């Protein structure tokens, strides 16, 4: 019972997340999503997301406390995502966290959304393997990080590569739209792909040619793939032939997962690191999980992926990182910490 009780708030995109952890133990993970309000626009509308956070914040905090069986006064620290993400959405979470910290007289930790996607795994699989390679794949990001200290201490989160255009999740969402599948498209492509043939169509693998690897060994590119899928689908439609949705989904998904896994394992091998952690919404993808396991085991690399509910945005991940900040004695953030929509991944804890 000596471990810190931390409440974490996440509002960087369209999920209002409030999580409560004690040490590495998850006590509550309340999430209110505004995804349905964005569906008809085919993407998240920032202003709609901000308003939804405002409405959902207090009920979500109350629900989390109820589930955890605690009162707000019991909390030892407040953690909040202060970036990167949608500016207006982040502001709602940061303001709520400041109000709680001030009202309760507890320390506040402004933490990086991406590092939280890494830290969350300790709630499921125990202490993080450090060093590890973390691959974060979501609607907003695709990055490969070398993590020696998840709290960011002394360059503990070091970016090795990232997407040079679309994020992996963005590619899933755009291709789903082309195929007439609902938003967000990732889970729908995942499902359709199970009935399809992964080798039906030979879609391009971005930044894998020898020349590209010289400059972009650990970077990703998905916009060429998305265009290739669009062209292929258009050609079918022009010819008046039915579009084999399941085969397109399976072949597209294979192209994305193949490149992600290849580069992540290359990063691990190049650093002599034996643990790969995958996080972010796309880490919920069943093919990505399977392929990573299969190829990593041949190289003696261990793979850790949180369960799907912890991969997509939630408050538990923020609480998990906050709990690590407390456990490692990091200095809390100041009460005037800013929300920073383009916060670099290296800045894990706000000053």
Enumerate residues 6+ apart whose C-beta is below 8 A from 310.
Answer: 29, 120, 121, 123, 124, 316, 317
Q: Residue from 83, 185, 306, 315 that binds ligand KG4 (CB under 6 A)?
A: 185
166 binds Zn ion (CB under 5 A): no
190 binds ligand KG4 (CB under 6 A): yes
The Cα–Cα gap between 96 and 80 comes to 9
Q: What x/- string results for residues 312 through 331 when contact with ligand KG4 is judged by CB under 6 A?
A: xx------------------
Q: Where do the H-state alpha helices sit in the chain?
A: 35-38, 46-68, 87-104, 113-119, 121-125, 168-178, 186-193, 210-216, 223-238, 245-271, 286-299, 308-311, 316-327
Q: Residue from 149, 258, 313, 324 that binds Zn ion (CB under 5 A)?
A: 313
The answer to whether the beta carbons of residues 311 and 283 sit under 8 Å apart is yes
The partner in contact with residue 139, picked from Zn ion, ligand KG4, none with C-beta cut-offs of 5 to 8 angstroms by kind, is: ligand KG4
Q: Which stretch binds ligand KG4 (CB under 6 A): 154-162, 181-189, 260-268, 320-328?
A: 181-189
Considering the complex, state which of residue 106 and residue 287 has its C-beta at the smaller distance from ligand KG4: 287
Site for Zn ion in 99-158 (CB under 5 A): 138
The Cα–Cα gap between 129 and 274 comes to 9
The partner in contact with residue 187, picked from ligand KG4, Zn ion, none with C-beta cut-offs of 5 to 8 angstroms by kind, is: ligand KG4
CA atoms within 13 A on the CB side of 347: 16
The Cα–Cα gap between 132 and 2 comes to 28
The Cα–Cα gap between 144 and 31 comes to 27
The Cα–Cα gap between 340 and 89 comes to 11
Considering the complex, state which of residue 23 and residue 140 has its C-beta at the smaller distance from ligand KG4: 140
Site for ligand KG4 in 116-175 (CB under 6 A): 138-140, 169, 172-173
258 binds ligand KG4 (CB under 6 A): no
Q: By the criterion CB under 6 A, which residues form the site for ligand KG4?
A: 13, 138-140, 169, 172-173, 184-187, 190, 280-282, 284-285, 312-313
Q: By the criterion CB under 5 A, which residues form the site for Zn ion?
A: 138, 313
């Amino acid at each position: 019972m000596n471990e810190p009780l931390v409440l974490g708030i996440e509002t960087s995109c369209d999920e209002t997340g409030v999580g409560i952890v004690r040490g590495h133990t998850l006590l509550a993970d309340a999430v209110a999503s505004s995804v349905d309000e964005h569906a008809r626009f085919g993407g998240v509308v920032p202003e709609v997301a901000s308003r939804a956070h405002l409405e959902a914040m207090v009920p979500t905090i109350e629900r989390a406390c109820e589930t955890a069986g605690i009162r707000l006064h019991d909390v030892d620290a407040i953690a909040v995502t202060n970036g990167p993400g949608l500016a207006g959405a982040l502001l709602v979470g940061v303001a709520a966290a400041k109000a709680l910290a001030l009202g309760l007289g507890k320390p506040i930790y402004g933490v990086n959304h991406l590092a939280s996607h890494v830290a969350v795994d300790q709630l499921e699989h125990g202490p993080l393997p450090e060093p590890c390679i973390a691959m974060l794949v979501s609607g907003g990001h695709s990055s490969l990080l070398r993590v020696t200290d998840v709290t960011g201490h002394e360059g503990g989160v070091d970016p090795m590569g990232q997407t040079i255009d679309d994020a992996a999740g963005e590619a899933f969402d755009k291709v789903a739209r082309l195929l007439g599948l609902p938003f967000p498209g990732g889970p729908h492509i995942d499902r359709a792909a199970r009935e399809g043939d992964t080798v039906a169509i030979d879609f391009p693998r971005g930044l894998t040619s020898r020349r590209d690897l010289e400059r972009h060994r650990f970077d990703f590119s998905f916009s060429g793939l998305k265009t290739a899928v669009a062209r292929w689908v258009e050609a079918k439609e022009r010819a008046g032939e039915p579009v084999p949705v399941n085969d397109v989904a399976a072949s597209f998904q294979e192209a994305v997962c193949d490149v992600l896994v290849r580069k992540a394992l290359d990063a691990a091998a190049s650093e002599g690191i034996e643990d790969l952690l995958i996080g972010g919404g796309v880490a919920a993808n069943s093919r990505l999980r399977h392929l990573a396991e299969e190829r990593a085991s041949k190289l003696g690399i261990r793979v850790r992926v949180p369960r799907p509910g912890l991969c997509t945005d939630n408050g538990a991940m923020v609480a998990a990182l906050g709990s690590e900040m407390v456990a490692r004695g990091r200095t809390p953030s100041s009460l005037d910490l800013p929300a920073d929509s383009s916060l670099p991944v290296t800045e894990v804890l706000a000053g």
